[in-house]
Structure 1
Amino acid sequence: MQEMIDNYSEESIQTLDWKEHIRRRPGMYIGKLGDGSYSDDGIYVLLKEVMDNSIDEFMMGYGKKIEVNIVDGKVSVRDFGRGIPLGKLVEVVSKMNTGAKYDSKAFKKSVGLNGVGVKAVNALSSEFAVKAFRDGEVRKADFVRGELINDFPIEKTNEPNGTYVEFTPDGDIFGSYGFKEEFVENLLKNYTFLNSGLTIVYNGTPIVSKNGLLDLLEEKMTEPGIYAPIHLKGEDLEIAMTHAEQYGEEYYTFVNGQHTTQGGTHLIAFREAVVKTIREFYNKNFDVADIRQGMVAAVSIKIEEPVFESQTKTKLGSKDMSPDGVSVRNFVHDFIKKHLDNYLHKHPEVAEIMLRKIQDSEKERKAISGIQKLARERAKKVSLHNKKLRDCRIHYNSNAERKLESAIFITEGDSASGSITKARDVVTQAVFSLKGKPLNSYGLSRKVVYENEEFNLLQAALNIEEGMESLRYNYVIIATDADVDGMHIRLLLITFFLQFFPELIKNGHLYILQTPLFRVRNKKETRYCYTDEEKQRAIKELGPNPEITRFKGLGEISPDEFKYFIGKDMRLERVRMKKEDSSKDLLEFYMGKNTMSRQNFIIENLIVDEEML
């Protein structure tokens, strides 16, 4: 160390060119890497960065169609906007601080930078090609990992105006990746929900939305609203909202077409404004929690020069919405005060249903207020020395660079908790230990969350009592054995979250940890196998008579081995709720009374492990 300090000189200073800097520090530009297994993995950010520029053209009134194709890991996006100016084609995709978005007259309310974003795609792609079509002329350029390979001369063309970008994410950066249809379709659908009149053709199939945010709510909600969604639309702000028979709040927020998954200034303003307007409409000082209980809403706002809290643009930090100093907060407040108040006056039947919902929430809250207060005090006392929680240093609700990696493992038993605790990354991975099987919360009221110490401490550890905005971990991972008891604990925990915090599941934060069933090794190599097929392949590839170990529980896996299963190659299975899934129906089927249909389902789907016989 001293030698390094002594040798600190001019030669120690390195200047990286733009592409080297992006390739060395991709997290600064696209969040995390990943192989495409999760919706926030980097390959989807690459697609989004290219799409954002095409969407900005549409928002400026140019081109009503965007064609997207993904085949064998190669992505192409063709828009029919104005096309990048031919003389600046290479600079726009490969020279920092170059782009049209710096001129607010050309791109008043854009989210794509036409600068850093597409340059990051170029640098992180093994192959990248761009074509610009303008007024009967075309220019093309090819790159490899950000390095210009071919700069073709301008030619004549019959193609309509627009831009074509084709890229292949670099396997050296992303490993063996794959695009999941579900995540791509969700990303593209969001663009159409927010841009009426836009058609996106994905691998030949058109995606279009006629009703904007109403279609988004229809797509996302698994429980019907108790009244028809309220749809309020202005030039720069669109809102759709309703209440559902569910606990918690559920929000989908967007800025200039960008899905701000962590909310920000506009969401805070919306929640404040709705409470204020409803209180004034009913002329009663309802509690905030009673008004927002069960609320489901989508909010889309257009802002000049938005300021996000990171390059991945998941949280709005803007205080001003335009150079004349109109704040986002005041703009949202004024819009909702006028339009929501008018709507409730014009639709008394909706106002009556909303009032009953608020009053029902008020009754339940008052019924549990005593136990709630005691539970909060208890959670506060143990938070400093909570033996159940081994916390990490970086959290999802912080501004840290690695916040997207933050995770908490919910484990059963001391041995499994001990192994994970010793093997984890203390910077981004926390552990919460269960002392046994949790309570079956199906059919119980929210009172149980506060009466049951384990549920209350888990709620406190996740920091979700007041909503998802303060969630401390991006990944909430259930880590239980794959035996009958472990499966039961998984179901009990999923029941708890589904019943009281469904937005945790809907927003893609709840996962099941997959751990290997077998270890196959010879003197030179060790393979961990998650299925019988993987085991058979390993036996074949490792040669005659390898040593085979069957793991019967997490507690059997040593910390030295566990680090392989919760590191960069960690296998997680996301707990999903599809549009057609009703949480009430799911809970009734899996956790309700042991009906004949449930017994038959279990018998028909029972898997018997032959090696255990």
Structure 2
Amino acid sequence: MANEVANYTEDSIRSLDWKEHIRLRPGMYIGKLGDGTAQDDGIYVLVKEVMDNSIDEHMMGFGKTIDVKVSELKVEVRDYGRGIPLGKVVDCVSKINTGGKYDSGAFQKSVGLNGVGTKAVNALSSFFKVQSYREGRTKVAEFERGEIRNDEAEAASSGRNGTLIVFRPDDTIFKNYHFIPEYLDDLMWNYSFLNAGLTINFNGTKYHSEKGLYDLLLRKTNADTLRYPIIHLKGEDIEIAMSHSNQYGEDYYSFVNGQYTTQGGTHQAAFREAVVKTIREFYNKNFEATDVRASIVGAIAVRVQEPVFESQTKTKLGSQNVAPDGPTMRTFVNDFVKKALDDYLHKDSETANLLLKRILQSERERKEIAGIKKLANERAKKANLHNKKLRDCRIHLDDKKGDDDLRNASTLFITEGDSASGSITKSRNVQTQAVFSLRGKPLNCYGYSKKVVYENEEFNLLQHALNIEDGLEGLRYDKIVIATDADVDGMHIRLLLLTYFLQFFPDLVRRGHVYILETPLFRVRNKKETIYCYSEEEKQTAVAKLGNKPEITRFKGLGEISPEEFKGFINAQMRLEPIILRKDTSIEELLKFYMGKNTPDRQNFIIDRLKVEKDLVAETTG
């Protein structure tokens, strides 16, 4: 101890410059890093930080179009706003606490007020270029990992006013990253819905909305399943849209100053509360809150001054007030909903009747399963004390305290059989990785009511392990990973589990929590090197590389992979395939086709797409 004190001198104290600090602690600025398989991975936050500046210009009345190009590794964003003042181009992207948003008169309701956004993008990019066009002049600067590499003098230009940012995320920080088009598609649509009249041209596709959140709900839901037309209400600094569908659970999309708050916050909580309160008063009935909100699909967007978020990545609003001296968020949202929704229901009696029918149906369904639900929850409580199916981890997503990176790393692997779960259990990280072992093939629950979740012991225990019975607020794991063999039985189990999630907990899939674990199909090795291959193509490449007839092992099941080997497949670089619902996907139609009784149609679909092994080899070698 004395030795440690002696070694703690002035030389031990080190000051980091802005880019060093961002690169050393990127999580403080952009949340988790990731490789792009999750919607909130850092590479998407980088895109958002650049886009937010262009959106702020549009909000101020400058520029109705933003052009965006994203290739596999590079991003370009060109807006047609005022352009960064030419003398401050370098400072704006490389000096912390430098920007045009500190004057609240200019950007009163902006997202990016911390002066860090583009600086973080700059520091975390292997290439970063900024070019401003302003009143017939232009200025260009280029950087590498925050270090300026090219600082050109101002020059004449015929380009329209605005700013161009080009960057390539640093692959030494974002390992093996790639952009998933569906995630970027969602991002561009959200920007369009929140900025009616704005046009975004993204990779050749035009994104434009005239009706804002109305268009958002129309895109996010299947119109045929809505129980009544979307209610769309707008006020000063607030906009809401809502309806009820036939799905289970609640589905919300909430935004603050154009920022998609995926984890909700004070504005979303106020919206949920205000809807219940207003509906109770309108019908003069003291409905259970869960009956009012069951199957609701809603969206809320607010604009507030000086928003306070609970994390750097701004996914959850913490502000209690809409302005420093303004009303509370709860009062602001409640007053608007109370007047606007009440007026709407008085004027549209048909919608009011259909809404009442949906609430009464939810009430009946809740009462029908109340008895079995109570018994099932008691069984689950006892089972949880000695739950052999669940080998839990120590850190969970819903922990109130602790490191954000560790909570976001919390993962539940759902495995089949003892051998597979045994391999994962022995090789997992006990801090953040849990394992839930299935007894065999779960029930095909397509077409069943939620009663089956409580009657089926395995489904009930899984629901309790995830802690999602009453919504996603208490979700214990950020990633739910289906880890089954890559054979026919394993694929069938995947389908059965996805049916369970899509039927009863669709929000888990919509919000990007469900993944498939990719494990190697082959091991190719010689005395010097071992290569794990995930496809026939990778196997052919490995054989060519190692030459001289290497040993090839075909893994038929996860249980054949030793725990020591398995460690490499479930670490930070593990390969995960996210389950993504595309915009035109109807859950009802999807489940009906794949899990329903339309056997001839499904048989023909499969036969038309069958490929034998020799065809696959020909494709990879030809």
1:590 maps to a residue whose letter is: Y
SS for the counterpart of 2:369 is helix
Give distance in 2, aligned partners of 1:368 and 1:11.
67
In structure 2, distance between residues paired with 1:211 and 1:34:
34
Please say if 1:523 is aligned against 2:527.
Answer: yes
Q: Partner residue of 2:215?
A: 215
Consecutive unaligned residues of structure 1, counting only runs of 5 or more, are none
Q: TM-score, normalised by structure 2?
A: 0.94
Candidates 577, 581, 588, aligned match of 2:581: 577
Moved more, 456-465 or 270-279: 456-465
* CA pair 593-69 structure 1, distance change in 2 beyond 3 A: closer
User: Secondary structure of the equivalent of 2:404?
Assistant: coil
Give the deviation of 1:386 after TM superposition: 2.6
Q: Which amino acid aligns with 2:15?
A: T
* Residue correspondence of structure 1 range 303-382 to structure 2 within 5 A: 303-382=304-383
Structure 2 vs 1, CA of residues 32 and 335 (structure 1 numbering), >3 Å: closer, same or farther? same
Match of 1:82 in 2: 82
The answer to which of 65-74 and 266-275 deviates more is: 65-74
In structure 2, how many angstroms separate the alpha carbons of the residues matched to 1:34 and 1:146? Answer: 21
Partners of 1:70 and 1:279 lie apart in 2 by 48
Conserved? CA contact 1:133–1:161, under 8 Å: yes
The aligned residue for residue 188 of structure 2 is 188
SS at 2:173 equivalent: helix
* 1:394-405 equivalences in 2 (<5 Å): 394-398=395-399, 400-402=403-405, 403-405=407-409
- More moved, 229-238 vs 145-154: 145-154
Matched residues in 1 for 2:283 and 2:343: separation? Answer: 13
Q: Does 1:424 align with 2:425?
A: no
* Conservation of the 8 A alpha-carbon contact between 2:320 and 2:328: yes
Letter of the structure 2 residue corresponding to residue 208 of structure 1: H
Evaluate the alpha carbon distance shift between residue 102 and residue 426 of structure 1 in structure 2; reply closer, same or farther with a 3 A threshold.
Answer: farther
1:580-607 C-alpha deviation (Å, 9 max, x unpaired):
3222222222222253212333444455
CA distance in 1, matches of 2:588, 2:251: 17
Do structure 1's residue 248 and structure 2's residue 233 form an aligned pair?
no
Contact preservation (8 Å) 1:108, 1:304 = yes
Identity among equivalent pairs (%): 65
Q: Which amino acid aligns with 1:158?
A: S
Residue in 1 that maps onto 2:541: 537
List alignment gaps of at least 5 residues for structure 2. Answer: 616-622
Shift of 1:116: 0.9
Quote how far apart the aligned CAs of 1:9 are: 2.3
Aligned to 1:99: 99
Q: Distance in 1 between matches of 2:579 and 2:180?
A: 15
Q: Which residue of 2 aligns with 1:171?
A: 171
Residues 182/424 of structure 1: CA separation in 2 closer, same or farther (3 Å cut): same
Structure 2 counterpart SS, 1:252: strand
For the 8 Å contact 2:97–2:114, the answer to whether it is kept is no
Q: Which amino acid aligns with 2:246?
A: E
For each residue in 1:8-50, what CA deviation from the matched residue of structure 2 results, as whole angstroms up to 9, or x when unmatched?
Answer: 2222222211111111221221122233333222221111100
Letter in 2 for 1:298: A
Indicate conservation of the 8 Å contact 1:464/1:470, yes or no: yes
How do 1:404-419 residues align onto structure 2 when only pairs under 5 Å count?
404-419=408-423
Are the aligned partners of 1:53 and 1:113 in contact in 2 as well (CA < 8 Å)?
no
Q: Given that residues 182 and 582 in structure 2 are in contact (C-alpha distance below 8 angstroms), is that contact kept between their aligned partners in structure 1? A: no
Q: Which moved more, 1:419-428 or 1:172-181?
A: 172-181
Equivalent position amino acid for 2:100 in 1: A
Q: Distance in 2 between matches of 1:379 and 1:104?
A: 53
> Counterpart of 1:34 in 2: which secondary structure?
coil
> Alignment partner of 1:101: what SS?
coil
> 2:287 & 2:525 partners in 1: Cα distance?
64
Q: Work out the CA distance in 2 between the residues paired with 1:603 and 1:66.
A: 45
Question: Structure 1 residues 204 and 268 mapped into 2: Cα distance closer, same or farther (>3 Å)?
Answer: same
Tell me how far apart the structure 1 counterparts of residues 223 and 398 of structure 2 sit (CA, whole Å): 28
Instruction: State which drifts further: 275-284 or 486-495.
Output: 486-495
Deviation at 1:114, TM superposition (A): 6.6
Name the counterpart of 1:27.
27
Alpha-carbon distance in 2 for matches of 1:532, 1:391: 35
* 1:230-288 CA-partner distances (Å, limit 9, x unpaired): 00111211111111111111111111111111111111111111111111111111111
Deviations 1:175-234 (A, max 9, x none): 343323222222111101100111112234322111111111122114631211000111
Contact preservation (8 Å) 1:128, 1:167: yes
Q: Distance in 2 between matches of 1:51 and 1:580?
A: 25
What displacement does 1:610 show?
7.7
Q: CA-to-partner distance for each residue in 1:108-167, whole Å, 9 max, x for gaps?
A: 111123721111000011111212233333322221110122333333333333222121
**Alignment partners' CA distance in 2, 1:2 and 1:219:** 65
Instruction: Quote the offset at 1:4 in angstroms.
Output: 5.0
Confirm or deny: 8 A CA contact 1:77 1:166 kept in the other structure: yes
Aligned to 2:275: 274
SS at the partner of 1:279?
A: helix
Q: CA 1:285–1:61 in structure 2 vs 1: closer, same or farther (change >3 Å)?
A: same
The root-mean-square deviation of aligned C-alpha atoms, in Å, is: 2.0
**Which whole-Å deviations, capped at 9, do the CAs of 1:283-337 have from their partners, x for residues lacking one?**
1111111111111111111111111111111111111110113111111111100
> Does the 8 A contact of 1:93 with 1:115 survive in 2?
no
Change (3 A) 1:598 1:206: closer
8 Å Cα contact 1:497-1:505 kept in structure 2: yes
Q: Contact 1:222–1:579 (CA<8 Å) still a contact in 2? A: no
Instruction: Tell me how many residue pairs correspond in the alignment.
Output: 611
- TM-score normalised to the size of structure 1? 0.95
The answer as to whether partners of 2:516 and 2:576 remain within 8 angstroms in 1 is yes
Q: Which residue of 2 aligns with 1:468?
A: 472
